[in-house]
Amino acid sequence: MNVGGAIRALISFLIFVVLHYTLRPLLGWRAPMDFLVLALLLAAVRVRPATAAVIGFVLGLVSDSLAPDALGAGAIAMTVVGFGASYLKAVFFADNLVLNAFFFFLGKWVFDILYFVGEQRVHGVELLQQLLLWSPLSAAVTAAVGVLLLFIMRPLLEPTPA
Amino acid sequence: MHRTLRSNTRFDLIILSSCIVLALAARALPNTMREPVATGMRRTFLAPLVMLQERAERGRQSLLQADAKQSRIDSLSLNSMKAGSLEGENDRLRKLIGLGSRLRWGFIPTEALHGRGVRDETTVILSAGSRAGVSRLSPVIAPEGLVGVVDQVDPTMSHAMLWTHPDFRVSAMSPDGTAFGIAQAHLSGPTGGYLIELRGVPFRATLKPGALIVSSGWGGVWPRGIPIGTVLQEIKTSEGWARTYLLRPAVNPSDVYSVMILRRDRLAKGLDGVWQNVAQVDQATQRIIVSGDSAAKAAALAEAAARRAVIDSMARANGAPPLGAIDSAGAARAVTPRPVPVRRPPVVDTTARQRRDTTPRDTIRRDTIRRDSVRTDTIPYRPGVTR
């Protein structure tokens, strides 16, 4: 990835982060989209797994800082998701929107599973309900929004032709 | 190649393990340490993001509450509009109660029902009829003054002709009885129907703007002393033998909703004291204006006299005749030629000297009294004296 591509990727990353703290609370849905996971996944496929793990760790701490009771849970989940996404990028790095949507869906769901299990705030039926109902819904919304943003931001995200 | 790849993988795993260990350490922190760490991050590099989130959540709250706020504002606006009309209605009713307490008896409170548009307001339906004691030609009044007269009576309601009606007439006068005339609606001009004109006022009687006009009691329909309006100005008409004045009506027909009908037996007793306050206030106002004018005139005269005395004193101090003397002398010179001086032998006449000494001295003495007060100013200007 050349310098131009890195800058464009960084801008996209920042746009996703800003959207997470503006559009998401503005909409206030019960099953919200997660722009931080989208930003992490889009960054992870462009860097090596170690870097993706560090990005995930930092993003997780950022999200945890607004919920101090769960400090660390988001960092663990983001680290694992970032590392996994970067490790599996050969599988998912394809110019296929459906595959990208599945990639986003899976990333968000895995993140939620790790987060809620690590957070240990909800238990039993409520945890199952969260993981099997609200998390997939949130993951689906995230995947849909991610695909939409990929479509909109295609000029910014496509690699520069040699 | 394979070794490099394995080395990279090991490095990635080491980094991953480190991150996970750090995250677990953060997760294992006691609550007393989590909060400072999170707060430190929120207050430093996460501050812009926190601010963005706060604004977004505030925007969401505003959006969610917009409808409720709007409906609350609408309700408040509606209530404030109602409050204004209620205040006006309360004020009218309070005045009506005051009028009722002053009348004491012989009146029928009733509602005036407007049937047509505002500009066509010449008649109203009253919600009281002959069963309540209303009879034809009963005066209809409001706390402010004259409204109209009942012209048709039914058992349960009656029909009244307002003062705006072209056929309406009432004998009117000024409260002091110096001017009499016939009041009727002023139908010509752009303000037609909204003002009253007082016709047939004797030419010798003049009314100042603002003067109150009341019913005179002549004619048998209207008792004496009901306010009709106040004088706005005199208007020119073809009648050369009498004056016509334009009046601002005491009662606006479109604002009449609650009125009183005077019964015939009440008319015979008169309405002394009912609107006496209004007339007294009007007369007091006129007296204040007149006394103010007199005081101002007296002050102006006194000031002019003082100025003249000072000027005369200065003139005398400078050796010139007083201003009045100069004028008269000048006038005399202008009219008559200067006489040739005749040398007379010096004759000693003590009586004449006494007369000369005494007679003018009296006239001058008044001035000298004032001259003392200005002597300090006049001395430096005395001829032959250097400053």
B52 contacts in chain A (CB < 8 Å)? 18, 21-22
| Predicted local distance difference test score (pLDDT) of residue A90 | 61
In sequence order, what E strands does chain B have?
107-113, 123-126, 139-142, 145-153, 158-162, 170-173, 180-186, 195-202, 212-215, 227-235, 242-249, 258-262
Q: Which of the four pLDDT bands, split at 50, 70 and 90, describes residue B294?
A: low
Convert the pLDDT of each residue in B261-282 to its tens digit: 988 777 777 776 677 655 555 5
Is the Cβ of B27 closer than 8 Å to some Cβ of chain A?
yes
Tokens of B55: 């604004």
Q: Nearest residue of B to residue A60 by CA position?
A: B23
| Predicted local distance difference test score (pLDDT) of residue A60 | 92
Asked if B56 and A24 come within 8 Å (Cβ–Cβ), the reply is yes
Question: Would the pLDDT of A54 be above 80?
Answer: yes
Residues B162 and B39 placed together within one structural domain of the fold: no
Average pLDDT, chain B: 75
Residues B297 and B194 placed together within one structural domain of the fold: no
Q: What is the largest CA-CA distance in chain A?
A: 54
Percentage of chain B modeled with pLDDT above 70: 68
Is the Cβ of B20 closer than 8 Å to some Cβ of chain A?
yes
Nearest to B18 by CA among A117, A72, A110, A57: A57
Residues B381 and B306 placed together within one structural domain of the fold: yes
Residues B207 and B235 placed together within one structural domain of the fold: yes
Structural contact between residues B312 and B324, judged by C-beta atoms closer than 8 angstroms: yes
Look at residue B174 and tell me if it is in a domain. Answer: yes
Residues B174 and B140 placed together within one structural domain of the fold: yes
Residues B365 and B294 placed together within one structural domain of the fold: yes
Least confident range of A74-83, B196-205, B303-312? B303-312
Q: How far is CA B114 from the centre of its chain?
A: 29
Q: What is the DSSP string of B257-295?
A: -EEEEE-HHHHHH--TTTSHHHHHHHHHHHHHHHHHHHH
Compute CA distances A5 → A9, A12, A155, whole Å: 6, 10, 11
Top-confidence range, B82-96, B274-288, B351-365: B82-96
Which of A50, A68, A71 comes nearest B16 by C-beta? Answer: A50
Residues B41 and B180 placed together within one structural domain of the fold: no
Mean pLDDT value across residues B287-314 = 68
Q: Which of the four pLDDT bands, split at 50, 70 and 90, describes residue B213?
A: very high
Question: Would the pLDDT of B244 be above 80?
Answer: yes
A47 contacts in chain B (CB < 8 Å)? none
A36 contacts in chain B (CB < 8 Å)? none
Question: Would the pLDDT of B358 be above 70?
Answer: no
Tokens of A26: 């503005």
Average pLDDT, chain A: 86
| Predicted local distance difference test score (pLDDT) of residue A135 | 92
Convert the pLDDT of each residue in A68-107 to its tens digit: 778 889 999 999 999 999 988 766 656 678 888 888 999 9
Residues B141 and B269 placed together within one structural domain of the fold: yes
Asked if A17 and B49 come within 8 Å (Cβ–Cβ), the reply is yes
Look at residue B11 and tell me if it is in a domain. Answer: no
Look at residue B24 and tell me if it is in a domain. Answer: no
Residues B183 and B246 placed together within one structural domain of the fold: yes
B91, B123, B158 - which closes a domain: B91
ipTM: 0.84
A53 contacts in chain B (CB < 8 Å)? 12, 15-16, 19
Least confident range of B49-53, B103-107, B173-177? B103-107
Asked if B27 and A61 come within 8 Å (Cβ–Cβ), the reply is no
Look at residue B360 and tell me if it is in a domain. Answer: yes
DSSP state letter for B119 = T
Q: Which of the four pLDDT bands, split at 50, 70 and 90, describes residue B379?
A: very low
Look at residue B111 and tell me if it is in a domain. Answer: yes
Q: What is the DSSP string of B201-253?
A: EETT----TT-EEEE--TTSSSPTT-EEEEEEEEE--S-SSEEEEEEEESS-G
Question: Would the pLDDT of B367 be above 50?
Answer: no
**Count of A-B CB contacts under 8 Å:** 106
Residues B241 and B110 placed together within one structural domain of the fold: yes
Name the residue type at position A85. Answer: A
Output the pTM of the full model: 0.48
| Predicted local distance difference test score (pLDDT) of residue A132 | 92
Least confident range of A126-140, B114-128, B137-151? B114-128
Domain coverage including residue B198: 104-274
Structural contact between residues B140 and B125, judged by C-beta atoms closer than 8 angstroms: no
Is the Cβ of B25 closer than 8 Å to some Cβ of chain A?
yes
How distant is the Cα of B6 from the closest Cα of chain A, in angstroms? 13
B10 contacts in chain A (CB < 8 Å)? none
B256, B274, B292 - which closes a domain: B274
B17 contacts in chain A (CB < 8 Å)? none
Residues B270 and B291 placed together within one structural domain of the fold: no
Rg (CA), chain A: 15
Is the Cβ of A71 closer than 8 Å to some Cβ of chain B?
yes
Structural contact between residues A147 and A100, judged by C-beta atoms closer than 8 angstroms: yes
Residues B78 and B143 placed together within one structural domain of the fold: no
How distant is the Cα of A26 from the closest Cα of chain B, in angstroms? 5
A22 contacts in chain B (CB < 8 Å)? 52-53, 55-56
| Predicted local distance difference test score (pLDDT) of residue B33 | 83
| Predicted local distance difference test score (pLDDT) of residue B336 | 40
B57, B91, B125 - which closes a domain: B91
Is the Cβ of B386 closer than 8 Å to some Cβ of chain A?
no
Mean pLDDT value across residues B128-154 = 88
Is the Cβ of A31 closer than 8 Å to some Cβ of chain B?
no
Look at residue B3 and tell me if it is in a domain. Answer: no
Residues 106-135 of A with CB under 8 A from B: 118
| Predicted local distance difference test score (pLDDT) of residue A136 | 93
Higher pLDDT, B79 or B313: B79
Q: How far is CA B12 from the centre of its chain?
A: 89
Tally of domains in chain B? 3
